[in-house]
């Protein structure tokens, strides 16, 4: 009997690629996204069962992309190549988001900023604070990430942030930090810190355009909530 496994798999892979090229990612279910991604690191094998194993193990597509190589390799069917490909995909999304916000000559849109913040910090397991340095035209001219090592509250002095802004010759800054608990609602300490930073920055001629808190799949903007 002729073995038809390989042609059937090749045909399915071709159909997935054509579906993406003609209808885009919005036409895909989460398991199909992983199926197609896995075809680039797993040759001559049906990737659908592995895609479902990943979703079952981590709970969602975003959790799969956030997973470490070590955790990924605990899933049956995931080898070193795939364990490197998935984190690389996540890093590529982050690089794309940063490139997008830096390349806008007319100013950075709130949507682009939000996309970058989500790509940059939502996968962090400890708290990080990021400073985005903006020009007078509100284009991003640089950024700096500071690990605070604390859970869900900021432990960075406003004077240190302002010093970094002045060194970068920034006219405005956006503060971004993550809540590893997943809840982006600001704590009382976050609110006090933001108010103190805005006042201190004002006296040094630096504007605070926003403070964004990144949770798990959600974000909180002080500006959107009229808290700046």
DSSP string, 141-194: EEEEEEE--SSSS----HHHHHHHHHHTT-SEEEEEEE-TTS--PPPHHHHHHH
Provide CATH code, domain 5-93. Answer: 1.10.150.20
Q: Can you give the pLDDT at residue 76?
A: 94
Cβ burial, residue 21 (10 Å; 0-12/13-18/19+)? exposed
The two structure tokens encoding residue 193: 């810190």
**Model pTM?**
0.64
Point out the residues of the chain with pLDDT beneath 70.
Answer: 1-10, 101-110, 122-123, 149-154
Apex CA 199: angle with CA 195 and CA 201, to 5°? 115
Q: Which pLDDT score is estimated for 40?
A: 93
**How far, in Å, CA of 213 to CA of 2, rounded?**
58
pLDDT in tens, 186-206: 989 899 999 999 999 999 999
CA distance 29 to 208: 39
Our measurement of the distance from residue 177's CA atom to the centroid of its chain's CA atoms, rounded to an integer in Å, reads 12
Q: Is 206 within 8 Å of 166 (Cβ atoms)? A: yes
Question: Where exactly are the structural domains of the chain?
Answer: 5-93, 107-221
Cα distances (angstroms) measured from residue 81 to each of 37, 58, 192 = 12, 19, 46
Q: What is the predicted pLDDT for the residue at 7?
A: 54
Superfamily of domain 107-221: Cytidine Deaminase, domain 2 (3.40.140.10)
């Amino acid at each position: 009997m002729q073995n038809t496994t390989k042609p059937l798999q090749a045909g399915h892979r071709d159909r997935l690629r054509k579906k993406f090229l003609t209808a885009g990612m919005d036409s895909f279910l989460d398991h199909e996204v992983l199926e197609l991604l896995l075809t680039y690191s797993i040759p001559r094998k049906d990737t659908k069962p592995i895609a479902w194993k990943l979703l079952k193990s981590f709970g969602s597509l975003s959790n799969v992309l956030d997973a470490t190589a070590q955790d990924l390799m605990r899933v049956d069917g995931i080898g070193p190549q795939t364990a490197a490909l998935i984190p690389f995909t996540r890093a590529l999304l982050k690089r794309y988001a940063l490139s997008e916000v830096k390349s806008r000559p007319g100013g950075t849109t709130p949507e682009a900023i939000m996309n970058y913040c989500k790509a940059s910090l939502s996968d962090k397991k400890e708290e990080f604070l990021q400073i985005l340095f903006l020009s007078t035209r509100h284009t991003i001219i640089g950024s700096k990430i500071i690990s605070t090592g604390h859970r869900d509250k900021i432990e960075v002095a406003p004077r240190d942030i302002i010093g970094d802004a002045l060194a970068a010759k920034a006219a405005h800054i956006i503060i971004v930090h993550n809540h590893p608990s997943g809840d982006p609602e600001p704590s009382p300490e976050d609110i006090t810190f933001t108010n103190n930073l805005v006042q201190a920055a004002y006296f040094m001629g630096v504007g605070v355009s926003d403070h964004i808190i990144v949770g798990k799949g959600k974000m909180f903007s002080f500006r959107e909530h009229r808290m700046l």
